Amino acid sequence: GQNIDQPTEMTATEGAIVQINCTYQTSGFNGLFWYQQHAGEAPTFLSYNVLDGLEEKGRFSSFLSRSKGYSYLLLKELQMKDSASYLCAALDSNYQLIWGAGTKLIIKP
Amino acid sequence: DAMVIQNPRYQVTQFGKPVTLSCSQTLNHNVMYWYQQKSSQAPKLLFHYYDKDFNNEADTPDNFQSRRPNTSFCFLDIRSPGLGDAAMYLCATSRESGSSYEQYFGPGTRLTVT
C-alpha cells in the first residue's frame, strides 16, 4: 500500500531550528511536496523536491533522499507565525498526491 | 490576483438535506480537485477533472457528485449529508494532470451537519 509517515506534533522555541521528517512508500515516485496549513485554512505550497539533495528557500529548506524514501523540512529562525501544520505529500506513478496527516508545529516564546 | 475562490466559507445543513459547494478559479488551470479534510487528518481526494474529463476516486461515496460546467467553475453536490460528512472541503487547481505542478488551494468550505 501507499503510505506517508510524519510525526503528529512537535514543539519548538521561537528563534530556534526545527526539522520535520517524512518517510514515504508509494507506487512509483514523481516528487515530494511540503505544504503549510494554518488552523482552519487551506494548505499553501512550500516546496517541491524531485532530485536528491537540499533545496533552500529563505528560512525554509527541504531535503530528499529517494533511495531512503525520506524527506525533511527544516525551519530556521522560528517565528510565532510558523505555528501551523506541515503536510508532506508524495506524487505516485499516476501523478496522484499521497498525503500525510500533517505535523502540528507548536512554537513557544 | 489570480486565485481559487470557494463559496460559502461556512455552510450549515441539516441531516439529509442536499447541499452544493462551489469553487471558481481565475488561474485558467486545466485540472480541478475536490478534497475532504477532517480535523488532524490528511486531505482525502474525492474526485478531479482534467478539463471536462471526470475522475472519481474508487472509495468516494455515491452521495458525493460533482459538476464542472466550464473551465472556471466546479461544484460539489452532497445529495444526503450525514453527520460523518462534516468536514472542511477543499478545492484545488493545477496547471496540468500527470505532472509535477503544484496544487493551488482555495480557502475551503467548512461544512457542519446538524
Work out the average pLDDT over B104-109: 94
Residue B91 has pLDDT above 70, yes or no: yes
B75 Cβ contact partners less than 8 Å away, ≥ 6 residues apart: B20, B21, B22, B23, B66, B67, B68, B69
How far apart are the C-alpha atoms of A21 and A9, rounded to whole Å?
Answer: 11
Instruction: Flag if A102 and B108 touch (Cβ within 8 Å).
Output: no
Residue B2's pLDDT band (cuts 50, 70, 90): low
The number of angstroms, rounded, from the C-alpha of B10 to the middle of its chain's C-alpha atoms is: 14
Residue A41's pLDDT band (cuts 50, 70, 90): confident
The number of angstroms, rounded, from the C-alpha of B38 to the middle of its chain's C-alpha atoms is: 13
Residue B97 has pLDDT above 80, yes or no: no
Q: How far is CA B69 from CA A14, B66, B107, in A?
A: 47, 10, 21
CA distance A15 to chain B (A): 26
Please report the pLDDT score of residue B102 as a whole number: 87
Q: What are phi and psi of B100, to 5 degrees?
A: -95, 10
A window 28-67, beta carbon within 8 A of B: 30-31, 33, 40-45, 48, 50
**pLDDT digit string (tens) for A52-108?**
999 999 999 999 999 999 999 999 999 999 999 999 999 988 888 899 999 999 999
Residues of chain B neighbouring A96 (CB-CB closer than 8 A):
45
Q: Which three cell numbers stand for residue B89?
A: 472541503
Q: What are phi and psi of B83, to 5 degrees?
A: -60, -30
Residue B101's pLDDT band (cuts 50, 70, 90): confident
Residue B71's pLDDT band (cuts 50, 70, 90): very high
